[in-house]
Structure 1
Amino acid sequence: MDHWGEIEKLIEQRYAARLAERVTELDSAARKDVAARLPGLLKKLKGRFEESWDGALAPYATVLRVAGAATLGGAAAVASWLYRRDFAPQWDGPDNDVELILAVTADRPAAWRADLAERLVLRMRTGDDRGMPLALAMVRQTGIDPPRHDPLVVGWVQEVPPEPPYADPLIDTLLPRLFEAEGVGRALQWWRETDQGWLGALLKMAEAGRVGRESLIEGCVHRFLLGGSATDLRFFARLHEALAPAPEEVEPRVRDYVRLLAASPGPVAEAAVKHLRAQPALDPGHLAEIWDSLLFRPERKLVKAGLTWLDRAVRRDPALAGRIAAPLARAFAAESAELRERAVTLALAHVAAMGEQGRATVREAIPLLPAELGERAAAAFPGAEVAVEEAEPAPPPLPEPPPRATRLPAPIETAAEFAEVLAGERDWAAWERLLAGFVVLAHRDREALLAVLRGEMYRNHYARLHVYKQWDHADYWLMAAARTLDGASPVAGAWRDRLPRDRPIAPPALLLLHRVAEIHKAAEEGTLPPLLLATPTLSTGHVEAAELVRRLEVLEAAGVKPPAADLQQALLRLPRTPDPEAMARAGRLTSGAARIVAAWTCPEAEVSVRWHAPDECFEPEANAAPTGLPLVDLVLGKVRHHDVQGTHLAWWPATLPSHREVAAAHLLPYLLPSYWSPVLGDEVTRLVRAEGPVGSALALLLARMLADPRRPEEVEPVLELAARGELPAAELGRQLALLLRVGRVRMGELVTGLDTLAREGGHAQAWQATAAALPLLLPATGKRPRHGLAGLLALATTLATWCGARGEIPEVRDTAARAGSSDLVREARRLHALLTAPKEA
C-alpha cells in the first residue's frame, strides 16, 4: 500500500498512536506529499457533516494535528494548523495530545522547534488557553528563553506547583515574572494555606535556598507598587506576610513601603503600616508622609491607626508637632463622626506645639467639620470660619399613582390583524389575543388564518414538534393546532402525553399549558368553540364580568360547552368584586358554565414566607379552601420550586390578577438572580396594580428590587403601592433585614433604597420599614455590628424627624447604652434621644 493510502486510513480510523509512529518513519519527500494531500482530506471529512461550525472536525482533531505537525514544512504553518478553528471549538478543554505532538516533532532541527515553541507561546491569549500545556511542554523541551508573554506565566502557575527537588527549568525564567505578569494574582488568589499550593511551594523553595528569600520580598513589594485591585494583590499580600520580613529586611525599602500607603488596597496598606511601625527610627519626613497618606484613606481602620500613631509619636517627640497639621486637617473630612472628633481632640491637644503655620493649616480646614464640632475647634483656632448647618428640606408628598388598569386592544377579528400581531413584538397580552384570534378565525375564516400561519408552523423547531417529548411552550401547542387544521397533525392525541411530566412546572405555567392543549385537542376533534372565555380585557389580566357573561351567552346560543381550563382561567380573572348586574345575568343563563360563574365567589388564599435555619433560605407557601375546580385549586393552593427559567413567567401576574400575593409567592423562586433565571421587573409592577391582599411574598419581592443597585428605577413600584395606601411597610422592612442577614443585599444598597423611597415622597413608609428592620439588625450584647449599620441609624434619625416619630425601640435603647463613642453608638444615642423626647406642642 502506498504511504498516503496508509496514512489516510489511519486518520479516518483515528489511530493516533499508530499514525504518530508511521509519519515519523516517512522520508522528506513522503512527508511533503502527505502535507500536500491534507487540505483535500479536510474537505472530504467536512463533507460528512451537514454543516460546518467551530470544532466540526473535533472527532478527527488529534490525528489531523499529529499528521500536520509531522509533515508541514514551516513552524508557522504547523502552529496555524494545530489551532485551526474546525479542530476544536473555542471553549474546548486543554489539548490531550501533547505527548504525540512532541514525539512527531522531536526529529525536527533545534532552531525549527525553538521557532515553533515561541510561536505557540505567543498564540496564547489567556492562562487557561487550550494550547497552554503544549506551549509549556515545547518551552521545556527546547530550553528556549520564552518571550515575555503574561498568559504564559499565568498558565505556568495554574499547573501543579513544583515539589522538591524543584527541577522545573522554568522556575529560573518565569518565577521573576510572577511578580509583574498581569493575571497571576487572580489565578493564585485562592491559595491561603502556607503548606499548600504555590504559597507553600514558594516558602519551601526559599527555605531550601532554591530561590532567594530577598528576591521574594522584593518581588512582592514591586508587585504592590505596580498597583491593582485587592483581588490582584491578595496572593502577594499573603506571601509577603508569610515571609514575615524582619525590620532589617524592611529598612532598605522604607521608601517603597511609605509609597504603598496612599492608594494600595486595604490589606496591603495594613501590612505596610505594621512593618513601618516596627522600624526603630523613621525620618520625620517619612512620618509626615505616612500620616498624610493614612488620614486621607477611606478605611476607618487605617485612619484610626494613623491618628493613634500620630498622637503617640508627638507625645514621645514634641518636635514632630509641626508636621501633624496637614494630616489632621485631612481627617476633618473623614466620613466617620468618631474619627472627625478624634482628629479635633488631637488638634486641640497639640495646638500650642504645632506652630503658627500649622495652626493656619488647621484653621482653613475647620469649615469641613459639622457645625457643632467646628465651633469647638474654632474656640482654639481664632479666626476660623464654621460651617452653617442647613436644615434638611422636607420631602415631597407621594406622587399620584397611575391608573390601576388600562383597556387592552379589541379582540382580533380578521386574518390581516392576526398577521400583524403575529409579526410584532409578542408579550403576554399579544399572545392572549393570538390564542383568542386563532379560535375565532378557525370558525370564521379558516383558510385565511392558515394562509397566515403556514410560513410559521413549518419553520424551524415547529417542524420538529413530533420529536419533542414534551411541549412546554404555548406556541408549540398553537402551531400544532394550526398544523392539525391544515391536515398535517405532528402528533395525534398530543394532549395525552406531551404536557410536561418529567420536571416540575410552576402551577401558573401549567394552567396556561392546559389551556393551549385544550385548543389543540379541540382542533383535532373538530370541537373548537367560537370564542374563548378567558381572554383578558384589562392590562392587569382581568376579564370584566359583563364581557365574560356576553361570551357565555354566545356559547350558550351556539350550544357549545367551553373548555374546562379556559373556564377556570376566566374565573380566576374575574375582579374580586365583579359587577352584580352582570353576575345576575349569568344566573339567568342555563348552561353549566354559566351557573358556575354566577355562583363564583373569589376564594381567599393564605400566603406565608418561612425562613429556614441554618441555611437561611426562604420557602413560600399558599393555602386556600378547595373549590372543586382542579386547576383553580392547583394555582391557589400549591407553591413549589419550579424549572429554573420560569416557563411563561411574564404571564403569571395576569393569570392571578385578583390574587397578587399568590402570584408573588409563585414568583419568589426567581427573586435571587442566577445565570439562567429571569430578571423580575414588569411582573412586579403588574402585581402592584393587581387586586388582593398584600403580605410577606410581595413585600419580599419589593424589598429585593428596592435594594438592587443596578436598577434604581425599581423604587417606582414601591412608591405606587404606597400611594395607593396598600404598601405593607413594616413587612417590607422586615424582609429587607432578612435579605441582608443572609447576604442577598448589602447595607449600602438597603440604605440607598430606603433613602430614595423617602426622598421621592415615601418618607412615612420608609420610616415604618426602617423601624421594623432595626430590631433584626442591631447587634445583641457582645456581638459585632454589621458594617454600615451606623448609616442606617443616621437615616432612621432623619426619617423620624420628618415624620415626627416617637416611641422607644428597645434594641435602639440597648445599643445607645453601650460604652464607647463609635459611630454606631453615637447614631443610636441620637435616634433614641429623638424617639424618647416629648413632642413639640
Structure 2
Amino acid sequence: MDHEDEIRKLIRRRDAERLAERVMALDGPSRRRVAAMLPEVLKELPAVHSGWDSGGLAGFGPVLRVAGAATLGGAAAVASWLYRRSFAPQWAGPDDDVDLILAVLAGRPAAWRADLAERLARRLRAADDRGMRLALELLRQTGIEPPRNDALVAGWAAQPPEGLADDPLLGHLLPRLFEAQGVGRVLQWDTDPDRGLLGALLRLAGSGRVRRADLLDGCLRRFLLGGTPVELRFFVRLHEALDPQPAEVEPRARDYLPLLPAAPGTVAEAAAKRLRGCPALTAGDLAEAWESLLFRPERKLVRAGLSWLRAEVRRAPELAVVAAAPLARAFGAGFAELQEKAAELALACAPGMDEQGRETIRQAIGLLPPEPGARVADAFGGGTVAEAEPVHLPPLPAAPERARPFEPPPAEPGELVELWSDSHLHSWQTWERLLAGFVTLAYHDRDALAAALATIRTPMWKSGPRAANWTSVDRWFQGLADHLTDQAPDAQVWRTAMPVAELPTPQLLVLYRAAEILRALEEGTLPPLLLATPTHDTGHVAADELVRRMEVLEAAGVKPLAADLQQALLRLPPGELPDAGRLTSAAGRILAGWRHPEPELTLRWYSGNRDLEVNVDCCGHDHPVELMTFVRRRVRTGLPLVDLMFRRFEHHVLAHHLDWWPAMLPSHREVAAAHLTRGLLRGTDEWTLYAQYARSLARAEGPVGESFAVVLARLLGDARQRPEAVEVLLEVAARGELPAGELGRQVGLMLKSRKARMGDMVAALGEAAERGAHAQVWSIAAAALPVLLPAPGQRPRNGLAGFVALAARVAGWCGARGEIPQVRDLASRKGSSALLRELRGLHTLLTSPGGHGSAGAVTDAAKEGRA
C-alpha cells in the first residue's frame, strides 16, 4: 500500500494520532504528494452529522488539520488550512488537537515555524479564539517577540496561570496587559488573591520575579487610559492587593491626581485613599483634589472628599484658605446630609479664610437648603439664602365604594356550562356562582343540566378524577358534573375524596361545602338553593336575603346543608341582625340567635426559639422567621366549622385559593388576615402575597389589628406591588380604619427581620405621605422607630438613615411634637454618621416649641383619618 492510500484511509477513519505518526515518518517527496492529494480528499469525504456539529467536514477537522500542518509547504498555506471555517464544528470549544499539530510541526525549520507563529498570532480576533493555544505555544517554542495584537494578550491573560514564572511570554506580554483592550473584561471575575492571574502576579511580585513598581505603574497607566468600571475592575483589585505604601505613592502622586475628577468611582476611590496624607501634595494640589471629589455625583466620593478636607484643615488650619472653592462645590451636592456636612465645614473654616474665599462661600449659599444656608449666611456676613419650597399636601383621596351587588348565578344550563368552560375557577366569585347555579338547576331540572354538562369534552373530563385527595375545587366541581351525567368513577365519592392531609381551615370549609353538595346529590337530598351565596362582592350576605332563603328551604321541607349554613352565618354583615323570629326550623332558630363571635388574637414573631418581639436584635439571626397566631379568647358557638375557623391557624404546603379567604370572612377581616400571616414569611410560590388579598381585607369589615397590619406591612415592603399596596393604605386610611400604630410596629419588625427592604418600604410610605396620608405615615414611622433603632452595641440596619429622614419630613408636615425616648438617646451619642445627623434633626423638630401638640396627638389624628 502506497503512502497516499494509507493517509487517505486514516483520514476516513478519523485516526488523528496514527495519522500524525505516519506523516512525520514521510520524506519530503511523499509529503508533497500527500499535500497535492488533500484537495481531492476534501471532495471525497461524505457529509457527517455528529451531535451539535453543523455537518460537512467538521467531523474530520482534527485529521485534516494534522495532515495539512505536516505536508503543506508554506507557512501562509498552513495558517490558512488550519483554520478553514469548514473544519470547525458549530458548537466546538477550544481545539483538542494542538499537541498533535505541534508534534508534526516540530521538524520544520526554525525560521519557518517563527513565520507560522507570527501569522497565527496576527489572525487572532478574540480571547477565546480557537487558535489561541496553538499560537501561544508556537510563540513560546520559537522565542520570537509576539506581534501587537490585543486579542493575543487577552487570550494569554485568560490561560491558567500555572507556570507563569517560567513562561517565555511573560516579559513580552505583561507590559501589554495594562494597555490591551479586552483584557479587563476577560479578567473581571478574577477576584481571588490566592488563585487566578491576580494571585499569580502577587506571588511573582513577592518573589521578585516581577517588579512591584512595574505592576503599580501598569495599573496607573491603565487607569489613565480610561475605561468602564467592568474593564477596570481587575486592575483596581490588583492595585488594592498590592497596597502601595506612602513611599511608593509619593513619586506617583501626579498620576493619581488626574483620576479623581472623571475616572470610574472605584478608581477614584482608590486614588483618593492613596493620596490622603501624601506629603508630596501642595496646598494647590489638595484644593484640586478636594474640588474634584466634591464635584462627583457619587455620595461615597463626596463624603470621602469632605472627610479628607476636614482632617487636613484640622491638621493644618492654614489650609482653610484653599478650602472655599471645594466647599462651594459641595454646597450643590444632591444629598441633604452632605450639604449639611459641607455647611458645618464652612463654618469651621470661616476664621481661616481670606476675603476672596469668604466671597466664594457667600456666592454659593443659595445652593444650600434654607436652614443650613441661613446659618452659613449669618457666619459669612451675607449671601442669598434659598427659600423653602412650599409643601402642598393633598387631602386623603375619598375611599372607593366598599361593596357592589354580586353578579347573579347562572339561570340556564347553557349559561352555567359556558361559565365553567371559560373560568377554570380562578376566582371565588366564579366558584360561588357555579355552586349556586348548579344546586338550583339540579334541583329544578336535573335532566336539562345533565344534558348540557354532557356536551363538554376535556382531557381531564375524559380521564375522570379518582376519589382521593381532591384538594382543588376544579376536581370537586368535575365530580359533581360526573355524578350528574352518570360518569362518576366511584360510589360515595364525597366520603373518600376529602384530603387526608391537614389543610388550612378556610380551605377545608371550601372543600366541605363542595363535598356536602356531592353527598346531597348522591343521596337525593339536594336543597333548592344555597344560603351562603353572597349578595355583595365583598362576600357579605344581606340579613334579609338570608332570612328569605331560609324561608324557601322551610317551605320546601328541606334542611340546609351544614357547611353552607355556617358559611352563610360568617358572611352576615356585622351590623345587621336577622329578623328571623318567624322561622320555625332548627336552622332558623340558629339564624335568629346568631351574633358574630369576637375572638381575641395575638401574633408572635419567632426565629428558632427566640421571640423576636421581645428580643428584637434579629439582624443576624440564622433561623427562618415565622409568625405564630395565638387565640387569647376562644369562640364556642357549637358550630364546628365556625369554631374551627376561629381556633386553628395552621398552614401547610397544600394551601390553595388564599385570595378567597377574605370573602369567606367578610365581617372578620382580622381573622382572615390571621389565616394568611402564618405562611406569609416563607417566601415560597404557594405563599406569594398579592395586593388583591389586602384589598379584599380593606373592603371587608370588622376589627383590624396585628394580622391585618402584618399583611399590609409585607405588601408595602414589596417593590413589585408598591402601587397597589399604597392604594390599599390610602383606602383604609380614608375610612378611618387604619391601625397606624400597630402597622408601624409590624413595619419595624418586618424590616428588622429582613423580610422587607428598607429602601422599598421608605419609597412606599413616602408615596403614601405625598398622596395625603402624611399624618398616618408619621404615626407609622413613630411606632416603627423604637423597634428599628439599634440598642447599644448593635449595628443599625442599612438604609435606616433614610427611614429617619422620611419620619422627620412627615413630622414636619404634620407639626408633630413629643419626645421619642429611643430617638433622644441615640441623638445624644457622639458621631457624625448620616443616621445620627438625621436623628438629631428629628429630635430637634419634635422637641422644639410650637406645633400641633404631642406626637401622640398626631398619632390619634392619623387613626381617625385626619391630616
What TM-score, normalized to structure 2? Answer: 0.72
* 2:703 aligned with 1:693: yes
Q: Aligned letter for 2:659?
A: A
Q: Measure how far apart 1:681 and its partner are.
A: 0.4
Partners in 2 of 1:687 and 1:539 — Cα distance?
Answer: 12
Q: Measure how far apart 1:149 and its partner are.
A: 11
Q: Measure how far apart 1:629 and its partner are.
A: 4.0
* 2:669 aligned with 1:660: yes
Q: Measure how far apart 1:397 and its partner are.
A: 3.6
Secondary structure in 2 matching 1:621: strand
Match of 1:600 in 2: 594
Q: Aligned letter for 2:342?
A: R
Partners in 1 of 2:379 and 2:548 — Cα distance?
Answer: 85
Partners in 1 of 2:273 and 2:670 — Cα distance?
Answer: 55
- Whether contact under 8 Å (1:179, 1:220) holds in the other structure is no
Q: Measure how far apart 1:648 and its partner are.
A: 1.5
Q: Measure how far apart 1:699 and its partner are.
A: 0.6
Q: Measure how far apart 1:209 and its partner are.
A: 6.5
- Relative to structure 1, the CA distance from residue 253 to residue 656 in structure 2 (aligned partners, 3 Å threshold; closer, same or farther) is farther
Deviations 1:449-480 (A, max 9, x none): 55665575523x55445489644321232234
- Relative to structure 1, the CA distance from residue 287 to residue 552 in structure 2 (aligned partners, 3 Å threshold; closer, same or farther) is same
- Whether contact under 8 Å (2:542, 2:573) holds in the other structure is yes
Structure 1: runs of 5+ lacking an equivalent: 1-18, 40-60, 84-94, 125-131
Partners in 1 of 2:665 and 2:435 — Cα distance?
Answer: 18
Between stretches 255-264 and 698-707, larger displacement belongs to 255-264
Match of 2:79 in 1: none
Secondary structure in 2 matching 1:637: coil
Match of 1:369 in 2: 368
- Relative to structure 1, the CA distance from residue 806 to residue 423 in structure 2 (aligned partners, 3 Å threshold; closer, same or farther) is same
Q: Percent identity?
A: 47
Match of 1:4 in 2: none
Q: Measure how far apart 1:683 and its partner are.
A: 1.1
Partners in 2 of 1:468 and 1:237 — Cα distance?
Answer: 66
Q: Measure how far apart 1:339 and its partner are.
A: 0.7
Match of 1:91 in 2: none
- Relative to structure 1, the CA distance from residue 744 to residue 216 in structure 2 (aligned partners, 3 Å threshold; closer, same or farther) is farther
Match of 1:430 in 2: 430
Secondary structure in 1 matching 2:403: coil
- Whether contact under 8 Å (2:492, 2:519) holds in the other structure is yes
Deviations 1:107-144 (A, max 9, x none): 99999xx9xx99xx9999xxxxxxx9999999999999
Match of 1:810 in 2: 821
- Relative to structure 1, the CA distance from residue 648 to residue 616 in structure 2 (aligned partners, 3 Å threshold; closer, same or farther) is closer
Match of 1:13 in 2: none
Match of 2:864 in 1: none
Match of 1:69 in 2: 59
- Relative to structure 1, the CA distance from residue 304 to residue 626 in structure 2 (aligned partners, 3 Å threshold; closer, same or farther) is same
Match of 1:621 in 2: 629
Secondary structure in 2 matching 1:580: coil
Q: Measure how far apart 1:359 and its partner are.
A: 4.7
Match of 1:584 in 2: 581
- Relative to structure 1, the CA distance from residue 803 to residue 279 in structure 2 (aligned partners, 3 Å threshold; closer, same or farther) is closer
Deviations 1:257-316 (A, max 9, x none): 445434667655433212122544136665344212322346666434423433565688
Partners in 1 of 2:575 and 2:465 — Cα distance?
Answer: 44
Deviations 1:13-33 (A, max 9, x none): xxxxxx9999999xx999999
Q: Measure how far apart 1:536 and its partner are.
A: 1.7
Partners in 2 of 1:755 and 1:424 — Cα distance?
Answer: 41
- Relative to structure 1, the CA distance from residue 545 to residue 768 in structure 2 (aligned partners, 3 Å threshold; closer, same or farther) is same
- Relative to structure 1, the CA distance from residue 330 to residue 840 in structure 2 (aligned partners, 3 Å threshold; closer, same or farther) is closer
Deviations 1:311-361 (A, max 9, x none): 565688899767543311121234215413223225523431xx63x5554
- Whether contact under 8 Å (2:265, 2:298) holds in the other structure is yes
Partners in 2 of 1:297 and 1:817 — Cα distance?
Answer: 32
Q: Measure how far apart 1:776 and its partner are.
A: 2.0
735, 744, 751: which is aligned to 1:740? 751
* 2:530 aligned with 1:532: yes
Q: Measure how far apart 1:795 and its partner are.
A: 4.1
Deviations 1:623-642 (A, max 9, x none): 34354544334433222343
Match of 1:341 in 2: 343
Deviations 1:702-761 (A, max 9, x none): 123234444234222122222222221111111111122223334444444333333333
Partners in 1 of 2:467 and 2:130 — Cα distance?
Answer: 42
Match of 2:23 in 1: none
1:227-246 to 2 correspondences below 5 Å: 237-246=236-245
Match of 1:388 in 2: 387
Partners in 2 of 1:455 and 1:103 — Cα distance?
Answer: 69
Structure 2: runs of 5+ lacking an equivalent: 1-12, 20-37, 65-82, 106-112, 141-145, 611-620, 853-867
Partners in 2 of 1:501 and 1:107 — Cα distance?
Answer: 70
- Relative to structure 1, the CA distance from residue 143 to residue 553 in structure 2 (aligned partners, 3 Å threshold; closer, same or farther) is farther
Q: Aligned letter for 2:821?
A: P
* 2:605 aligned with 1:611: yes
Match of 1:507 in 2: 505
Partners in 1 of 2:126 and 2:490 — Cα distance?
Answer: 52
Q: Measure how far apart 1:429 and its partner are.
A: 1.1
- Relative to structure 1, the CA distance from residue 589 to residue 262 in structure 2 (aligned partners, 3 Å threshold; closer, same or farther) is farther
* 2:644 aligned with 1:647: no
Q: Measure how far apart 1:166 and its partner are.
A: 7.7
Q: Aligned letter for 1:704?
A: R
Aligned positions, number: 760
Q: Measure how far apart 1:769 and its partner are.
A: 1.9
1:418-457 to 2 correspondences below 5 Å: 418-422=416-420, 426-445=426-445, 449=449, 453=453, 457=457
Deviations 1:210-240 (A, max 9, x none): 77756655675537975656x9977664443
Greater Rg over alpha carbons, structure:
2
What TM-score, normalized to structure 1? Answer: 0.74
Partners in 2 of 1:735 and 1:770 — Cα distance?
Answer: 11
- Relative to structure 1, the CA distance from residue 181 to residue 599 in structure 2 (aligned partners, 3 Å threshold; closer, same or farther) is farther
* 2:322 aligned with 1:328: no
* 2:631 aligned with 1:635: no
Partners in 2 of 1:521 and 1:813 — Cα distance?
Answer: 66
Partners in 2 of 1:738 and 1:146 — Cα distance?
Answer: 63
Q: What is the root-mean-square deviation of aligned Cα atoms in Å?
A: 5.2
- Relative to structure 1, the CA distance from residue 525 to residue 468 in structure 2 (aligned partners, 3 Å threshold; closer, same or farther) is closer
- Relative to structure 1, the CA distance from residue 82 to residue 776 in structure 2 (aligned partners, 3 Å threshold; closer, same or farther) is closer
Partners in 2 of 1:147 and 1:438 — Cα distance?
Answer: 82
- Whether contact under 8 Å (2:126, 2:155) holds in the other structure is no
Q: Measure how far apart 1:413 and its partner are.
A: 0.5
Partners in 2 of 1:147 and 1:636 — Cα distance?
Answer: 79
- Relative to structure 1, the CA distance from residue 200 to residue 806 in structure 2 (aligned partners, 3 Å threshold; closer, same or farther) is same
Partners in 2 of 1:562 and 1:106 — Cα distance?
Answer: 89
Partners in 2 of 1:759 and 1:812 — Cα distance?
Answer: 24
Partners in 2 of 1:576 and 1:35 — Cα distance?
Answer: 84
- Whether contact under 8 Å (1:408, 1:537) holds in the other structure is yes
Match of 1:550 in 2: 548
* 2:518 aligned with 1:481: no
- Whether contact under 8 Å (1:23, 1:71) holds in the other structure is no
Q: Measure how far apart 1:183 and its partner are.
A: 6.1
Q: Measure how far apart 1:652 and its partner are.
A: 1.6
Partners in 1 of 2:328 and 2:154 — Cα distance?
Answer: 45
1:291-310 to 2 correspondences below 5 Å: 291-297=290-296, 302-310=301-309
Q: Aligned letter for 1:339?
A: K
- Relative to structure 1, the CA distance from residue 413 to residue 467 in structure 2 (aligned partners, 3 Å threshold; closer, same or farther) is closer
Q: Aligned letter for 1:584?
A: G
Secondary structure in 2 matching 1:620: strand
Q: Measure how far apart 1:685 and its partner are.
A: 0.9
- Whether contact under 8 Å (1:706, 1:754) holds in the other structure is yes
Partners in 2 of 1:169 and 1:631 — Cα distance?
Answer: 83
Match of 1:128 in 2: none
